[in-house]
Amino acid sequence: MLLSICYSVTICPAAAQTCPESGGQLVLNETFGTVSLTGALPANQTSYRYASYACPNDGEYTRQTSLDNSCFGNTWHVVPRDHTPGTTGGNMLIVNGDAQPGEFFRQSVTGLCTNTAYEVSVWALNLLRANTCFPTIQPNLTMRIESASGQVLQEINLGNLPETTTPIWQRYTTVFSVLQASATVVVRFINNRGEGGCGNDMALDDLQLRQCTACATNPVQIPDAFSPNQDGLNDELTVFLDPLISFDLIIYDRWGTVIFVSNSPNTRWNGTYNGQPCPPGNYTYRIAYRLGGPTDPAQPFVKTGQVMLLR
């Protein structure tokens, strides 16, 4: 259940895709520090320039505990504190959009469980006060979750951050899962606006990642690569499942052609097709299997992934 809770400075969450269960273990909690921790972010988190002052210019950012009425002719909101509830002297990330669209912040997280749901959320605020200048530019954000290799796991368009007469924080969330255990994911924030002028300014705070469900068990063990070069080491693709009732393995090449089929883990692919060695590269596998012991029902599962053939 999503609870609507409003704090001072009018903080109200927006309805979004969230963890199916209330709460969830907190894996990441980026609050952007406190008044004693300011200064530039690590270089790998943003391509924007750091501003040591409260009112950054286009393509700049800063970390502030509050904002007064001095920014850009009092067109920005007065924000007396950051979003994080129950804290004193906390920072928020203040961003003035660049004249070119693109990514302005990223955060990496590692050690995630495979086939397990995670929720990522952030609180955002349009800093421009409504009806203070015309025409205005509203930040238009996309939140993208990628694997370390760049595969997009989830993407949500947050849309325009609305202009308001008082500062209103809104919460945006999405849920995703990863395919590799102990995986690293990168949460990216992209501003789709690339215009100079009045607006395109925002604050972010409390970027969180929660584990929605317990880590899924992984009864299938399959290596990431094998090398059928007849040296006696990893010459065949070995799949481990226990306890096993049924098993069907299909290997596809890059064009989707079926090049190997097996209904037993003991029948292993040796990297050939029609008696000829397959070229090195990535091959897709699909395993349909049933597990179960004397007291366990045979539950059907399907696992897909890629394996690298090395020569």
Tell me the pLDDT tens digit for each residue of 165-200.
Answer: 999 999 999 888 876 655 789 999 999 998 778 999
CA distances from 110 to 36, 182, 221, 305 (A): 27, 6, 20, 20
The predicted pLDDT at position 20 comes to 56
What are the DSSP E strand ranges found in 18-58? 25-30, 49-50
| Contact yes or no for 127/136 (Cβ under 8 A) | no
Domains of the chain and any CATH numbers: 25-211 (2.60.120.260), 225-309 (2.60.40)
Calculate mean pLDDT across residues 273-286.
91
What letter does residue 23 receive in the DSSP assignment? S
**pLDDT one-digit tens code per residue, 145-156:** 998 888 888 888
> Over the Cα atoms of the chain, what is R_g?
25
β-strand pairing of 140-147 with 118-126 = unpaired
| Contact yes or no for 16/174 (Cβ under 8 A) | yes
pTM score, whole prediction: 0.67
- Among 106-110, 136-140, 217-221, the least confident range: 217-221
Query: Distance (Å, rounded) from C-alpha 264 to C-alpha 287?
Result: 11
The total of other beta-carbon atoms located within 10 Å of residue 83's CB is 24
Structure tokens at 66: 């509050």
Query: Distance (Å, rounded) from C-alpha 56 to C-alpha 61?
Result: 6
What letter does residue 236 receive in the DSSP assignment? S
Query: Distance (Å, rounded) from C-alpha 153 to C-alpha 238?
Result: 27
- Range among 126-140, 239-253, 274-288 rated most confident: 126-140
Query: Distance (Å, rounded) from C-alpha 65 to C-alpha 250?
Result: 56
